[in-house]
Chain A
Amino acid sequence: MNILELGGVVAGYQRSQVLHGVDLEVTEGGVTALLGANGAGKTTTLRAISGMVWRRGTLRFDGRDISRMRPDQVARLGIAHVPQGRGTLARLSTAENLMVGALRRRDSDVGTDLQSCYDLFPVLAHRRNAVAGSLSGGEQQMLAIGRAIMSRPRLLLLDEPSLGLAPRVVREMFRVLDDLRAERGLTMLLVEQSVVAALDLADRAVVLETGRVTLRGSAAEFAGMDEVRRAYLGT
């Protein structure tokens, strides 16, 4: 079952077009890695899904057309986007950041979910009342992921979660993501520069080059592929 479908998507910013016809499917319960060099359009693809940039083409989530929705409408359908740079609500506390993720929920399990966030990310529990802007980069990344999963999403979009983080922290974070995949069956679309870590977590991979998909297949196939190396390093 394809939970997300992109067909011939063109998208970009005010005066520039970055995507020139992207075709992409994500199956429910799977982790898809979106790979490519800088400027290939990986972040733009995630932003196109979330409605943060102008876009045209087929964009379907669970069969529904999302190509004309505002970001908050897309989010309410069950897509949680962890943006590049984390998007921390800097002047709110750690706990408040997590609670914002759950603001649209009307059920009574929010408290339990908050506690399981603290179990997943113990460092957030220690700093729950701290002003979020004072957290380290790694802590803010955990916070951003936590805020995203507090909404109980069906699809998690992650934009370069390892950016600017120490290798040890990156390893820890990917371990948590793997747990989320295994325990909650959370579908993910992961944009990553860190190819090895991404292919380790993902079961499928897609390569973007200058706004188009040039390669797709299972993560296992990709691990040693020459084309992947070429796409990244141009050699």
Chain B
Amino acid sequence: MRALQQVIDGLATGSIYGALALALVLAHRATGVVNFAQGQMAVVSTFFAWSLVQSGLGVVLAIALTVAASLLFGATVERVVMRRFERESPMITIVATVGLLLLLNGVSSLIWGYDLKAFPPAFSSGTLRAGEAAVSIPALGTFLVLVAVVLVLYVLMMRTRLGLALRAVADNPDSSALSGLPVGRLLMVGWGLAAGLGAIAGCLVAPKLYLDPNMLAGVLVYALAAAVLGGFDSPLGAVVAAWIIGVSENLAATYIGVIGNDLRISVPLLLTVLVLLLRPQGLFGRREVVRV
């Protein structure tokens, strides 16, 4: 059935959007900031992994080392760049992340160049077939890793002391400090974790998208749409929304003639606008309550 294949393909592309959306949501949950540079940080991490592979390391080991290095990278970015802007209005903080995006884009092209690079897949190639539908093993692997990460994130944020501390700092840094929490250090941890997650996302999608400084620029738009649709404080919401976007985009492109392949990006954008109008907290988010 053609529709089923479209759904499976949609889930596969959706998983790509979802991986970056998860990093965005984690960064927001832990720091209160929408990090427009999340994709670019992930690309830098992926380039780092690529260099490790070039020097002879196996791809899985390279990814593991890259994730570790990305934890430090994220923490450093917070300490050196974002710390100056955290006390400012949200607008200024967002502009700072956009500046960071541009900076990292320039740095990556300086170091690694603009040509497309092949990135070895972490999963073996091959296809699983069920009747007329087929799913590639890398796509399935990405899907499963995403599910695993959502579970780990849930446990971390909702059931551990560290998770509570991170959420407290994102909610109210002043009160958290009065309760003895080291706000600066926790923000570094939040940024580090988000960067590590971004590294996983980048390395998972690079084999399909090919690695260059702009690899995730388009994906960022989809990831933001997914985060908004899912509700910015819900990791599960972001991933489910990403799958919804992937599937609906595919189905719309195939079955709605006027959209076709040229206007397929309009689908997530229209969905985002609709959600913001009708249900701003997203599908899974919580309505912000302000008592007067």
A residues at B contact (CB < 8 Å):
50, 52, 70-72, 75-76, 80-81, 83, 87-92, 96, 99-101, 103-104, 131, 133-137, 140, 147, 151
Contact size range, B: 20 to 34
Given contacts A75-B179, A100-B176, A103-B180, contact A89 B168 (CB under 8 A): yes
The answer to whether B175 touches A87, judged by C-beta atoms less than 8 angstroms apart, is yes
Min CB distance B144 to A, Å, is 31
- Please report the C-alpha to C-alpha distance between residue A181 and residue B50 in the assembled complex, in whole angstroms: 63
The stretch that binds A, out of B101-109, B271-279, B283-291, is B283-291
Residues of B within 8 A of A87 (CB): 172, 174-175, 178
Contact, CB under 8 Å: A103 / B286: no
Tell me how far the C-beta of A30 lies from the nearest C-beta in chain B, rounded to whole angstroms: 22
User: Among the listed B164, B171, B176, which residue makes an inter-chain contact with A90, where contact means beta carbons less than 8 Å apart?
Assistant: B171
- Whether the pair B291, A104 counts as a contact (CB closer than 8 A) is no
Q: How far is the CB of A150 from chain B (nearest CB, A)?
A: 8
Contact B180 A72 (CB under 8 A): yes
B177 CB-CB contact with A under 8 Å: yes
- Confirm or deny: B129 has a beta carbon within 8 angstroms of a beta carbon on chain A: no
Residues on A with C-beta less than 8 A from B161 are 103
B131 to chain A, nearest CB (A): 46
Nearest CB in chain B: distance from A93 CB, A = 10
**Residue of A100, A131, A135 with most chain B CB atoms under a 10 A cut-off:** A100
In-complex Cβ contact of B174 among A52, A91, A99, A137 (8 A): A52
Question: Chain B contacts of A151 at CB under 8 A?
Answer: 179-180
CB distance from A122 to the nearest CB of B (A): 21
Contacts of A140 in B (CB 8 A): 291
- Contacts A83-B175, A131-B286, A134-B291 hold; do A72 and B181 have CB atoms under 8 A apart? yes
CB-nearest residue of chain A to B167: A92
Q: Pick the contact of A72: B167, B171, B177, B233 (CB < 8 A).
A: B177
Q: How far is the CA of A131 from the CA of B286 in the complex (A)?
A: 10
A103–B185 Cα gap in the complex (Å)? 15
With A89-B171, A103-B165: A136-B177 Cβ-Cβ less than 8 Å:
no
**Interchain CA distance A70-B177 in the complex, whole Å:** 8
14 contacts between A and B (CB under 8 A): A72-B177, A72-B178, A81-B178, A87-B178, A91-B286, A92-B164, A92-B168, A92-B171, A96-B164, A96-B167, A100-B165, A103-B181, A131-B289, A151-B180
> Does B289 lie within 8 Å of A90, measured CB to CB?
yes
Determine if A50 and B178 form an interchain contact, defined as CB atoms under 8 angstroms apart: yes
- Closest beta carbon of chain B to A26's beta carbon, Å: 18
Contact B176 A133 (CB under 8 A): no
Q: Does B183 contact A (CB under 8 A)?
A: yes
In the complex, what residues of B have CB within 8 A of residue A133's CB? Answer: 288-291
Q: Find the B residue at minimum CB distance from A81.
A: B178
**Alpha-carbon distance between A136 and B292 when the two chains are bound, in angstroms:** 10
Within 8 A of A (CB), among B169-217: 171-172, 174-183
CB closest chain-A residue, reference B182: A72
B181 touches A88 (CB 8 A): no
Query: In the complex, what residues of B have CB within 8 A of residue A50's CB?
Result: 178
B172–A90 touching, CB < 8 Å: yes
B291 and A100 within 8 A (CB): no
Q: How far is the CA of A136 from the CA of B288 in the complex (A)?
A: 15
Whole-angstrom distance between the Cβ of B158 and the nearest chain A Cβ: 9
User: B176, B180, B289, B290 — which one has the most chain A CB atoms within 10 A of its CB?
Assistant: B180
Q: List residues of B (56-115) whose CB comes within 8 Å of A's CBs.
A: none
Q: CA separation between A80 and B164, bound complex, in Å?
A: 19
CA distance A70 to B168 in the complex (A): 18
State in angstroms the CA–CA spacing of A131 and B175 once bound together. 16
Residues of chain B within 8 A (CB-CB) of A81 are 178
Complex interface: chain A residues within 8 A of B165 (CB):
100, 103
The 9 closest A-B pairs by CB, nearest first: A87-B175, A75-B180, A71-B177, A104-B180, A133-B289, A72-B177, A76-B180, A89-B171, A100-B168
Q: How many angstroms from the CA of A72 to the CA of B178 in the assembled complex?
A: 6
Residues of chain A contacted by B176 (CB below 8 angstroms): 72, 89, 100
How many Å lie between the Cα of A90 and that of B289 in the bound state?
Answer: 8
Assuming the A-B contacts A83-B174, A89-B172, A133-B291, are A103 and B183 also in contact, with contact meaning beta carbons closer than 8 angstroms in the complex? no
Inter-chain contacts of B177 with A (CB < 8 A)? 70-72, 75
Contacts of B233 on A, CB cut-off 8 Å? 91
The smallest C-beta distance from B150 to any residue of chain A, in angstroms, reads 20
On chain B, the residues within 8 Å of A80 by CB distance are: 178-179
* Residues of chain A contacted by B288 (CB below 8 angstroms): 91, 133
Interface centre among B177, B181, B288 (most CB of A within 10 A): B177
